[in-house]
Chains A and B, each alone.
Chain A
């Protein structure tokens, strides 16, 4: 099939809208008749990434490409960046504020969870410049 491209702007100042892009992606994949297990994995990866963009990255852009079997998720923010990616990938590592914890996030589980459910995860980050997350999932 002709690849489908979904583009989203993720608002970094609005916690209420955090997750809108993931919700739309999941519904779109369902409509396109994507494999149920692929949808489930993609939803988790995208949502974890989107929440990270909002709570750590100050918002940014998300692009999802689906060709009928493989799904690519690209998340780009221009936030504070990650000083040490190895630390960030470790289960339980989090720099989340108390405010973020109060709304149910900040356990340091997001990146490890994305790694678990994506077939490929590439994390690039520069302090003061921003973070790019690329995930590939194959149905």
Chain B
């Protein structure tokens, strides 16, 4: 699935990585716990989270995640967006809950074997 499709399905706004919308991702993960992302994530291209701090972007970079979606209407500050740009990570924000955002992407076929 292309990142542009992720944006459309979630009705998200793109805050960083506008030029990355053609990038393809195969799977996604949703968590508010970075400990779990570090321990359980493998080759997921997108991280959906309600947590809003710079460590979300750093965790994403460590895990080769190319896009972070902030859910529940969380708006990352300039510092977080600047860090994402520097790391080559796309940032989106949407008002949905984590549950609904993940559910929509899953229903659309993302990450289903």
Contacts and interface: CB of A to CB of B under 8 A. Distances in A.
Contacts, number: 66
A23 B58 contact: yes
A46 to B, nearest CB: 8
Given A16-B79, A113-B39, A104 B64 contact: no
A134 B96 CA distance: 42
A40 B64 contact: yes
Given A23-B87, A104-B53, A47 B58 contact: yes
- By size class, the interface of chain B is 20 to 34
Nearest to A39: B64
A132 interface: no
A1 interface: no
Interface string A93-124: 00000000001111111101100000000000
A43 interface: yes
Contacts of A18: 55, 58
B contact face: mostly helix, strand, loop, or mixed: helix
Contacts of B64: 40
Contact of B32 (A20, A22, A51, A104): A104
B54 A47 contact: no
A44 interface: yes
Nearest to B36: A107
A23 B61 contact: yes
A77 interface: no
B62 A22 contact: yes
Contacts of B75: none
